[in-house]
Structure 1
């Protein structure tokens, strides 16, 4: 696929991500598969799309002195400028003159000569004068927002919750790559054997300290291995694995996963149960419930019954005190997974957090009565916002004396997490910078 076509595809993708609030990773995957883009071109496309979305606020700041026009710039033109400046500032494999020439050609092809002249002029001015210096921004929060490309309101919110240092470290971590991690299917293969097989294939791996099934991959493409194709390993972040480890599901138990898509935790749960017992899995969307069934089939797990269902209405499906273990991995703002889904930080507003916290509270309120006396419930989210995490759990416990925080939870955390800075009286907040994982909150509640 010629370079021009790849970059024109990038412009299309960036515009769709921005206008349709589409998830970048899903759109990229679909585009690569539907157009059969070769792996070398796919890698470049992925890098430029992710990088441009990740650094969007920074790129707009860089471009602002050169866009002194009263006319509204069409979204595709702005994205063409963003991706070009991203390549000029953050990548070094293509010389600036080639980037500028190609951008002008795309502008001419998609628009007309006047647009091509405008794009060429802006990018040549950037090349000639250099981008503005962010160190001259006097307000600390605004400077951090521009330098790490996070909305200013979000930075100020995090500073109020966690202080400057944690916020600064989190923003920089969100702009970096994390290593991939996978989980072995222990009913098919041991972690040691899987690591030996990967080593034979030229991979560089490490054991995860979060889960006895976890492997961190420092080098190698797991998607191109028989281990992945045949369901011997599945991709899952370490923090997500920890959730299931702390659920302590055992063979023969009745377990409920109330919000189970895309299926990583529920299949991990079935593996921990040695495929003995029963796991009821629900998702609001029938399509996602079907994906869970497909994932379970691929891993050879037969105890998962995945169905469409609203977690707030599961008392119509099950009697009270039906389950030994319950997992509520609640829908959330997703601010812990910005590294992998950078568009999240632009698509959410403060009001969304309050709406989500109400949904989370409703789910917990409706699902908790389904837990047996003496049973355990894990509440988790992939976000770092206290209103969705600590504050919500505190409120629930205050209103329900029959549920208490399981005091053994902290002592049973893996040794490497025991001294984590994210521990509070209510649970564990994992920050992306601490262990190079997703940001995650989890806690364990017991019914007495």
Structure 2
């Protein structure tokens, strides 16, 4: 793919994600596969798209003085300027003159001479005159919001919940793409053998301290490696691996995964149980339930049954006290995964947090009745908002006195987490800047055994 076509592709993706709400990780993956991009081209396309999204508001602040007189600008032109300035300011290996030239050519192709002239003028001004420094902004919350391209309402919310220091660290971490981590399928390969094979093939990897199955890829494209293609490795963030690690599983258990797609945690549960016992996996959407089936087949796991169902009505499908263990990885705002899905921070609104919380409350109430006395339930989210995490657990415990936070939960966490800043009486909050992972909340609840 020529660099011109690659930048046209990046512009198409950015406009679609930014204006129509498409999911960046899904659309990027589809585009790379559809065009069979080389590793180098795929990496550059990913860098331009993710980098531009991660720094959108900062880039807008940079160019605002040069576009202030424009009454209305077509979305594609706005995103063309954003992605061009991103390359000029943050990608040293791409010469400014090449970025400007190709941006002008794209403007000519998509618009007219006046649009091409505007594009050239804005980018030449950035090149010659530089940009305003957001450190000049006096309001510290607004300054952090612009510097790290997070909506001000979100910065304000985090600052109230965690203070300015933690909020700053979170926002800064979200400006950098997350290292990829994978999980070995231990019934087919050991972590040691997987690491040896990857290192011998030129990959730079290290063991995760959060999961005995986790491997962090610091250099190398794992999607092309035979271990991944053969289903001996699966992509999963380290924080997400904690869910199955903390379920205290045994091979003969019957386990419910109430919100299972795309199947990373479901298959991890089956692996921890040596593919014995029974794992019932549900998802609200039939297409997503199918993804869980496909994931299980890819990893050669036969103990998983995946079906479509609204888990707010699972008592219609199962009698009370049916399961030894339950995982409720609840639908949430996703504010912990901004490093890998930066578009989320622009699409979410504060009211979304409250509407999602009502769903979380319904799910907790419904599935808790399905747990056997003495059984354990893990509740997890990929967000860092206390309303969806600690406050949801507190509310549940208040209304379900037969449950409590498992007293042994904190002792069984991986050793590095046992003195974590995020550990509290309701569970543990992982922050994106702490372990180079997603932001993730996790707790384990136990149901009082019958007398």
Same fold (TM over 0.5): yes
Give a deviation string over 1:257-311, Cα, whole Å, max 9, x none.
0000110100000000101110000001111111110110111100100000111
Alignment match, 1:386: 386
Alpha-carbon distance between aligned partners in 1 of 2:352 and 2:251, rounded to the nearest angstrom: 39
Give a deviation string over 1:127-185, Cα, whole Å, max 9, x none.
12111111110000111111111011100000000001100000111111332211111
What is the correspondence of 1:278-289 to structure 2 with a 5 Å cutoff? 278-289=278-289
What is the correspondence of 1:29-68 to structure 2 with a 5 Å cutoff? 29-68=29-68
Question: Is the counterpart of residue 432 in structure 1 residue 440 in structure 2?
Answer: no
Alignment match, 1:78: 78
Alpha-carbon distance between aligned partners in 1 of 2:338 and 2:149, rounded to the nearest angstrom: 11
Alignment match, 1:193: 193
Alpha-carbon distance between aligned partners in 1 of 2:350 and 2:257, rounded to the nearest angstrom: 28
CA contact (8 A) 2:231 2:299 kept: yes
| Worse-superposed segment, 208-217 or 313-322 | 208-217
Alignment match, 2:360: 360
Matched residue of 1:433: which SS?
Answer: coil
Alpha-carbon distance between aligned partners in 2 of 1:126 and 1:140, rounded to the nearest angstrom: 25
| Worse-superposed segment, 154-163 or 41-50 | 41-50
Alpha-carbon distance between aligned partners in 2 of 1:131 and 1:442, rounded to the nearest angstrom: 42
Alignment match, 1:141: 141
Note the C-alpha offset of 1:37: 3.0
What is the correspondence of 1:86-101 to structure 2 with a 5 Å cutoff? 86-101=86-101
Alignment match, 2:257: 257
Alignment match, 2:221: 221
Alpha-carbon distance between aligned partners in 2 of 1:277 and 1:316, rounded to the nearest angstrom: 22
Note the C-alpha offset of 1:105: 0.7
Alignment match, 1:69: 69
Alignment match, 1:244: 244
Alignment match, 1:120: 120
Alignment match, 2:165: 165
Alignment match, 1:372: 372
| Worse-superposed segment, 93-102 or 243-252 | 93-102
CA contact (8 A) 2:39 2:221 kept: no
Across the aligned residues of Structure 1 and Structure 2, the Cα RMSD in angstroms comes to 0.9
Give a deviation string over 1:394-418, Cα, whole Å, max 9, x none.
0010111011111110011111111
Alignment match, 1:319: 319
Give a deviation string over 1:345-394, Cα, whole Å, max 9, x none.
00000000000011111111111100000000000000000000000100
Matched residue of 2:342: which SS?
Answer: coil
Q: 1:125 and 1:59, CA in 2 relative to 1: closer, same or farther beyond 3 A? A: same
Alpha-carbon distance between aligned partners in 1 of 2:222 and 2:74, rounded to the nearest angstrom: 39
Give a deviation string over 1:416-442, Cα, whole Å, max 9, x none.
111110011111000011111110000
Structure 1 unmatched ranges of 5 or more: none
Note the C-alpha offset of 1:70: 4.5
Note the C-alpha offset of 1:191: 1.1
Equivalent residues, number: 448
Matched residue of 1:77: which SS?
Answer: helix
Superposition TM-score, scaled by structure 1 size: 0.99
Alpha-carbon distance between aligned partners in 2 of 1:216 and 1:357, rounded to the nearest angstrom: 32
Note the C-alpha offset of 1:93: 1.4
Give a deviation string over 1:301-359, Cα, whole Å, max 9, x none.
00100000111011111111000000000010001100000000000000000000111
Question: Is the counterpart of residue 292 in structure 1 residue 292 in structure 2?
Answer: yes
Give a deviation string over 1:174-201, Cα, whole Å, max 9, x none.
1113322111111111111111111211
Alpha-carbon distance between aligned partners in 2 of 1:235 and 1:68, rounded to the nearest angstrom: 44
Alpha-carbon distance between aligned partners in 1 of 2:70 and 2:235, rounded to the nearest angstrom: 48
